[in-house]
Amino acid sequence: MRFTRGTGNAGSFSRTTDFPGLPSALSCKFDLTVSGNSVAQTTAAIWQMGTNFGTANGAEANSKVHSRFALNLTTTAGQFTLRNIGAGTNSVTFSGTQNITWVINNSGGTITYLAPDGSQETVADDTADVWAGTTRAIDNLPATGPTNALTDWKFVFDGGSASITMDNFLINTVSTAPPQYLAIQASGNNALVTWTNINWTLLAAPAVTGPYTNVAGAVTGYSVPMTNAELFFRLTNSAPGP
């Protein structure tokens, strides 16, 4: 989806059909590319999430918006920043195609999510995090209207001159339950395998030497020497639990 603006016009898209289930927390992802800009413009475009949106080529009133952030154009073609509109602050400068991740929380409590950089991050109730690639561009962005539901989505491009391209849209609900996941990272000469649910037990063995065997005493992590052999890992729930 590409929007190209010269001067004196505007473009937008709206999703006005409610997301199913009235989600209380959402993760919105899409690829973003900016090109053709040469003049700086603050809040050239805006993304909004809220309720009772329309299809007019203009931003929705704040009374309908739960969460929003904006895009600023720079004087260098292909470069842009993301803007916390309420605070009047901007992110570092980005260029090229960036995968935007917008995590919005309206659940009534803090939620934990798996961030684009592989870390576990938290976002407080009625705030949002905005990532560009693996960089958190806006942290704990306060909600514009905390009482507004997360049912509709809108994008408006009505300032400055550039082309804005978006692709690969993915919108998912974010669970308020603690996540359960496996992480593997280098630790000296070993690979450190960790997971978040203490009821899980790690099973590990080279596939060529026989079946997987239990790693006795492993609770939330296990260190494996890194060799040229190929190792396979899996987790099984070893005891009942939440």
Asked if residue 60 has pLDDT above 80, the reply is yes
pLDDT exceeds cutoff 50 at 213: no
Greater pLDDT, 137 or 229? 137
| Residue whose C-alpha is closest to residue 36's, from 1, 80, 70 | 80
Work out the pLDDT band at 207, boundaries 50, 70, 90.
very low
Q: Is the CB of residue 183 less than 8 Å from the CB of residue 193?
A: yes
The pLDDT value given to residue 107: 93
Residue 201: is its pLDDT beyond 50? no
For residue 67, the tally of other CB atoms under 10 A from its CB is 27
Considering the chain, what percentage of its residues have pLDDT values greater than 90? Answer: 64
Higher pLDDT residue, 3 or 196? 3
Length of the chain as a residue count: 242
Sort strands 221-225 and 11-15 into parallel, antiparallel or unpaired.
Answer: unpaired
CB 138 within 8 A of CB 91: yes
pLDDT class for 220, splitting at 50, 70, 90?
A: low
pLDDT at 222 over 50: yes
Query: What are 161's two structure tokens?
Result: 């001159």
| The model's pTM | 0.74
Q: Are 75 and 88 in contact (CB under 8 A)?
A: no
* Statement: residue 210 has pLDDT above 80: no
> What was the pLDDT predicted at 193?
62
pLDDT given at position 119: 84
Mean pLDDT computed over 8-31: 93
What DSSP state is assigned to residue 61? P
Question: What is the Cα–Cα distance from 179 to 12, expressed in whole angstroms?
Answer: 35
Cβ distance 114 to 179 under 8 Å? yes
CA end-to-end distance (rounded Å), the chain: 42
Going by the DSSP 8-state scheme, the letter that residue 59 receives in this structure is: P
Q: How confident is the model at residue 233 (pLDDT cuts 50, 70, 90)?
A: low
pLDDT at 150 over 50: yes
Instruction: Taking the CA atoms of 116, 121, 122 and 127 in sequence, report the sign of the dihedral they define.
Output: negative
135 Ramachandran zone, left/alpha/beta (phi>0; psi -120 to 50):
beta
Helix, strand, or coil (residue 156) = strand
Residue for token pair 């195609």 = 97
pLDDT band at residue 120 using 50, 70 and 90 as cut-offs: confident
119 phi and psi angles, rounded to 5 deg: -90, 160
What is the model's pLDDT at position 8? 81
Query: For the ranges 53-62, 106-115, 129-138, 168-177, which has the lowest average pLDDT?
Result: 168-177
H helices of the chain, where? none
